[in-house]
């Protein structure tokens, strides 16, 4: 829950300063609960040491309530959690933010967004990259967290599956790549997942620009892959370190913090291995708290960053708002 104790104000204010926010931290409270309009500006820049981070808004999914969405919680449970976080209870707000890191003269993107092929209210990445002054042709590396549509469809042109970033090196955990492309995998998938599996296998094995990573290796200067399986077999987070500052790019480890901060034990329908996803979630958030680092997530409220603190058996998440 958003427990606005003095300790949380102090922690969150420090995170706001680190994120380069030029306004006072804005806590989202029940009085401000509303639908989910696009942010006034679709990008936000901040620094982690010498690394420039650009958060890019790709859109939002206003997901209708579904009793199957959280395996071990009811719709009423999820509505209550959303309300306590100051969000609308009419639906589950699932925004999508893509991060681009400028490390020296290199541009490194984390995932690729939806490519306008996921939800009709998503697909804003290209316009917001242009607004932020980022040339897609200059993206040299794309770190892929996992093979879900909202994270990889931006890699593939609609209709042809041609690579959108043909000159970029694509880096992904070997576990994730091999699981999805294993012979016979598509036939083993549940029916709703077969079109995704079919598309992955039609496109990716023929591309020459994949680099598969075993274990928690450095994937770029100051950036290390962090194993966080459960959401998918090879789901990865990425740890950025520059000087004395750190950032954990958590991707889908704690995808909707309004739900999973106070209830880290909840298992989402999209968590392939629910118990393992819970284990990874707790491990990653505990590390973020212990090391007092910043955290961002693909589905956190835009600009996608905030602070976690311990709160009983769960956590409190304080989002920042530019």
- Confidence at 21, pLDDT banded by 50, 70, 90: very low
| Domain ranges for the chain | 6-319
Q: What is the pLDDT of residue 5?
A: 40
Mean pLDDT (the chain) is 90
Take residue 136 and report the two structure tokens written for it: 């897609």
Q: How far, in Å, CA of 320 to CA of 15, rounded?
A: 8
The predicted model gives 169-196 an average pLDDT of 97
Question: In whole angstroms, what is the distance from residue 150 CA to residue 11 CA?
Answer: 31
What global pTM score does this model have? 0.90
Query: In this structure, what token pair is assigned to residue 40?
Result: 């006034």
Give the model confidence (pLDDT) of 217-259 as tens digits.
999 999 999 999 999 999 999 999 999 999 999 999 999 999 9
Report helix angle 174-181 to 194-203, nearest 10. Answer: 110
Residue 15 has pLDDT above 70, yes or no: no
pLDDT in tens, 57-109: 999 999 999 999 999 999 999 999 999 999 999 999 999 999 999 999 999 99
Tell me how far apart the alpha carbons of residues 258 and 203 are, in angstroms, rounded to a whole number: 35
Options 3.20.20.70, 3.90.1150.220, 3.40.1280.10, 3.60.15.10; CATH for 6-319 is 3.60.15.10
Going by pLDDT thresholds of 50, 70 and 90, the confidence category of residue 36 is low
Report residue 1 as tokens: 């829950």
């Amino acid at each position: 829950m958003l427990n606005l104790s003095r300790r949380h104000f102090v922690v969150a204010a420090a995170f706001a300063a680190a994120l380069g926010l030029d306004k006072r931290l804005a806590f989202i409270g029940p009085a401000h609960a509303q639908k989910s309009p696009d942010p006034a500006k679709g990008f936000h820049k901040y620094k982690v040491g010498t690394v420039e981070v650009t958060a890019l808004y790709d859109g939002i999914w206003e997901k209708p309530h579904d009793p199957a969405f959280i395996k071990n919680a009811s719709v009423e449970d999820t509505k209550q959690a959303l309300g306590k976080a100051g969000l609308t209870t009419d639906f589950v707000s699932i925004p999508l933010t893509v991060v681009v890191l400028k490390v020296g003269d290199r541009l490194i993107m984390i995932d690729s967004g939806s490519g306008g092929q996921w939800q009709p209210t998503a697909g804003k990445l290209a316009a917001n990259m242009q607004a932020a002054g980022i040339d897609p042709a200059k993206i040299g590396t794309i770190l892929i967290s996992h093979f879900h549509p909202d994270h990889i469809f931006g890699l593939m042109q609609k209709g042809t599956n041609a690579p959108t970033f043909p000159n970029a090196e694509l880096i992904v955990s070997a576990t994730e790549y091999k699981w999805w492309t294993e012979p016979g995998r598509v036939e083993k998938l549940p029916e709703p997942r077969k079109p995704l599996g079919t598309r992955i296998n039609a496109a990716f094995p023929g591309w020459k620009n994949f680099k598969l990573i075993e274990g928690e290796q450095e994937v770029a200067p100051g950036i290390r892959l962090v194993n966080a399986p459960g959401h998918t077999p090879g789901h990865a987070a990425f740890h950025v370190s520059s000087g004395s500052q750190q950032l954990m790019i958590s991707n889908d480890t704690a995808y909707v913090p309004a739900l999973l901060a106070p209830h880290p034990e909840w298992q989402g329908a999209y968590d392939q291995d629910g118990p393992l996803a819970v284990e990874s979630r707790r491990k990653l958030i505990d590390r973020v708290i212990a090391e007092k680092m910043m955290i961002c997530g693909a589905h956190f409220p835009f600009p996608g960053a905030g602070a976690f603190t311990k709160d009983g058996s769960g956590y409190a998440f304080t989002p920042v708002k530019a």
